Amino acid sequence: MAIGAHVIKCGLSPIIIDLMKRGIITAVAMNGSGAIHDYEISLIGKTSEDVSHSLKDGSFGMARETAEAIQAAASVFAYGLGRAVGDKIIKDKNKYKQHSILATGIKLNIPTTVHAAIGTDVIYMHPEISGGEMGESSHFDFKLLCSVVAELEGGVWFNVGSAVIMPEVFLKALTVARNLGRKVKNFTTVNMDMIQHYRPLTNVVTRPTTHGYSVTGHHEIMLPLLRLGILSKLTSKRS
């Protein structure tokens, strides 16, 4: 499953974490702002700010703790940015770590990847951020995602709430997998968002497969319904 940051910002991490624990979601990829919201929720139990107000005085995105923590994670070169942030959340014993997708991925040994786009997220305004280390750790995650997509045959790829970055990342990961000779042909893709945009419709729903679907609605409604639908189907199969 690929997610945009607003999926986390809207408070839907518990839905995703539940599906991870049930073995239904087997990998989670997110953009850089997704990692920011995931970390802040684990730290203080909430994440957001009044952008229109804080933009006026230049305080928008200037919370020091978030930038320092993610940079500290990025400087660990043993693994990618997703695992590094999750590992820091666990080691720092953040109060609400049970609500972190990245920390849950470590506990369940499920790949969680973060795909940074330099300049798009608030942390890049901070002097302590190293573009080189952010890039290297995120590149590690891209290669990890390529290995995940290489095993997608017969599976499902969900793109939820990402209009540009994750659809682009997915298309490149799929190309790498096929270029290396992996059979990734028969799988299903789904784009879920409150508005259907060109990039996910093209890169997720139509180009990669003949089994692509668009589902339109607010995350707060659609993701809980998706969970209930999956669990209902699994229950009926068992009975």
What is the pLDDT at residue 239?
A: 66
Output b/e per residue, 129-168; b: 16+ Cβ within 10 A. Answer: beeebbeebbebbbebbbebbbebeeeebbbbbbbbbbbb
In this prediction, residue 228 carries a pLDDT of: 97
Taking the model in full, what pTM does it have? 0.94
Banded model confidence at residue 49, pLDDT cuts 50, 70, 90: confident
The reported pLDDT for the residue numbered 18 is: 98
Closest by CA to 226, choosing from 153, 160, 149, 154, is 160
Output the DSSP codes for 23-49. TS---EEEEHHHHHHHHHHHHHS----
